Structure 1
Amino acid sequence: MKHPLPAEPRHIGVLRLSALGDVCNLVPTVRALQRQWPEARITWIIGKAEYSLLAGLTGVEFVVYDKAAGLAGMRELWRELAETRFDVLLHMQQALRASVLSLGLKADVRVGYDKARAKDAQHWFTQRHIAPHPRAHVLESFLDFARLLGVEDLSLDWQLPVPESAVAEAATLSGQAPYLLLSPCANPRLRNFRNWSAEGYAAVIEHAWSHHGLQALLTGGGSTAEREMGERIRRLCRPEAVVDAIGRSSLKGLLALIQGARAVVAPDSGPVHMANALGIPVVGLYATTNPDRAAPYQWRDYVVDRYPDAVRTYLHKEPEAIPWGQRVRHPDAMSLIHAEDVIAQLERLLAARQETETPDET
């Protein structure tokens, strides 16, 4: 017997801890739930960094879990929610840590991924599962939770909060000149292999400066690898063409910097999805991850896609023959992306933006 789903949920729990790009892709599902049931409470259990990005999201109560706190942090969170019972808990993280965390939460029914998409045996921790959706984009997978609950209006809406303090922070880094934002490095975790070359970025920067008068603003975290990448790029460029702001902004400040950019260029990482959420044009650089699953959703037509080539070159298979979402974990995969490919997509993107901004004189 299936556990019944609430027809009019009064309190919806959302369990999604990470990562920055994924939580941006989840926001339209939250907005869809709010449109369907404007009186319902929504409590989102989220990671620490992810909360700093989404803090202030209207109509959402956040409960923060810091994964660095481990089991002790879970126990603290369980105590915080000891008197809380959700009508439905949307378990939207396919990770064992999140599933263990879910065990201490009270819910009438727990909804998770279908067996094909569930990882780390997540389906054993849930009672209802979303319908199969082969080859779905991450954003569509999140919307499948709303579909299961009977939500009718699935139109995309973000309304990410960018406070004035973040705008002021961004202004100290960007100045007044129009700029192209580049976030050259993805998360520096082990065997990520999503970073493109300093030489490639320098060629794009030179083109943007010489052809469009766009200064390049480099952003990213404060890790040694990111700072070294920024320094390599800067040394390859004329000084007036680039500003190195790597490690100098908060996440809210990064949102504001993206909001002020003419366009964004970055690999598969948080900033491409942040730009997507803000409606800012973005050229995503994809070779190690499948853009059909993880591209910036509204700008998929402008991705530089070398994933099929990487699959054939380094996995020695056809893309159709590998599991959906499989990554190409090879350090040379991103070298399949050439500067002229990125420049061509950037030109298309800037032309499309100019066209939308030019008043119709007819």
Structure 2
Amino acid sequence: MKHPLPVNPEHIAILRLSALGDVCNLVPTVRALQRQWPQARITWIIGKGEYSLLTGLTGVEFVVYDKSTGLAGMRALWRQLADTRFDVLLHMQQAIRASILSLGLKANVRIGYDKARAKDAQHWFTQRQLTPRPRAHVLESFMDFARLLGVEDDSLAWDMPVPQSAYEEAQLLSGDAPYLVINPCSNVRLRNFRNWSAEGYASVIEHAWTQHGLKSVLTGGGNTQERTMGEQIQQLCRPESVINAIGGTSLKGVMALIDRARAVVAPDTGPIHMANALQTPALGLYATTNPQRAAPYLWREFAVNAYPEAVRTYLHKSVDDISWGQRVRHPDAMSLIRTEQVITQLDALLEHTTHEPFAARSPQ
């Protein structure tokens, strides 16, 4: 017998700890839940860095779990929520750590992914599973949780919080001229080969400057890989065409830069999905991950897609012969993306979109 789902949930828990791009893709599901049940409490159990991105999101209570604290941090979170019982727990993190964390939470029913989409045996930790949806985009998979609960209006809305101080930070960096944001690096993780070349980015920057009058602002964290990449790109560009802000902004400051940008160019990493959430034109670069599953949702048609070629070259298969979420873990895969492809798609994106004057992008 299936566990019954709440008809009018009073308290909804969301368990999604990471990552930056994924939590951006999850926000429309939160908004859909809020529209359906405006009086319901929503508690989101979230990672530390992800909380710094979403802090201020209206109508959501955040409980922060820092994964570096391990089991001790889990126990502290369980104690914090010991007197809380949720009508429903939406288990949206496909990782064994998150599933173990879920065991210490009290909920009348736990919803997880269907077996085909579940990883790390997540379906063992839930009582109800999503209706199967083969080949779904990440954003759609999140929205399926709301649909299973009975949400009728699944239209997309974000309303991401960006404080005035962040816009002031962005203004100091970018000035008043129109610009692109280029976030060249993805997270440093084992066998996470998502980064394109410094030479490729430099060619795109030159094109944006000479053909469109757009400076490029480089963004990213402060780790050695990102700083080195930024320096390499900068050395290949004329000084007036690029501003290197890598390691020099807060996360909210990056959001403000993205919100005021003419467009964003990046591989499959948080800022490309931040752009999507802010409805800033987004050009994603994809070879190691499938853009049909993970490209910025509103701008999927503009993504540079070398994934089928990477699958053929390094897995010796076609896209139809591999699992939907399979990655191409080869260090040379992103080299299949050609500069002329990126420039062509950038030109198409800029022609397709119009942009408000900068002043209109800041809150009044």
TM-score normalized with structure 1 length: 0.98
Aligned-partner Cα distance in 2 for 1:248–1:41? 36
Aligned-partner Cα distance in 1 for 2:294–2:112? 20
TM-fit CA distance, 1:295: 0.4
Runs of 4+ in structure 1 over 6 Å off: none
TM-fit CA distance, 1:355: 8.7
Aligned to 2:265: 265
Aligned-partner Cα distance in 2 for 1:119–1:349? 35
Aligned to 1:20: 20
Q: Deviations over 1:248-279 (max 9, x none)?
A: 11111110000010000000000110000000
2:262–2:355 CA contact under 8 A, matched in 1: no
1:143-162 alignment, distance < 5 Å: 143-162=143-162
Aligned to 2:30: 30
**SS at the partner of 2:181?**
strand
Aligned to 1:324: 324
Count the aligned residue pairs. Answer: 357
Aligned to 1:360: none
1:37-48 alignment, distance < 5 Å: 37-48=37-48
Q: Deviations over 1:21-46 (max 9, x none)?
A: 00000000000000000000000000
Matched to 2:141, the amino acid is S
Matched to 1:315, the amino acid is L
Q: Deviations over 1:184-220 (max 9, x none)?
A: 0000111100000000000000000001110010000
Aligned-partner Cα distance in 2 for 1:286–1:260? 24
Aligned-partner Cα distance in 2 for 1:76–1:356? 46
Aligned to 1:339: 339
Aligned to 2:129: 129
Aligned to 2:172: 172
* RMSD over equivalenced CA pairs, Å: 1.0
Aligned-partner Cα distance in 1 for 2:57–2:213? 35
1:2-17 alignment, distance < 5 Å: 2-17=2-17
Matched to 2:314, the amino acid is Y
Which runs of 5 or more structure 1 residues have no equivalent in the other structure? 358-362
Aligned to 1:80: 80
Q: Deviations over 1:327-357 (max 9, x none)?
A: 0000000000011100101101111113999
Aligned to 1:52: 52
Matched to 1:186, the amino acid is S
Q: Deviations over 1:73-105 (max 9, x none)?
A: 001101110111000000000000000000000
Aligned to 2:119: 119
Which runs of 5 or more structure 2 residues have no equivalent in the other structure? 358-364
Identity %, equivalent residues? 75
**SS at the partner of 2:284?**
strand
Aligned-partner Cα distance in 1 for 2:5–2:190? 40
Aligned to 2:362: none
**SS at the partner of 2:280?**
coil
Matched to 1:78, the amino acid is W
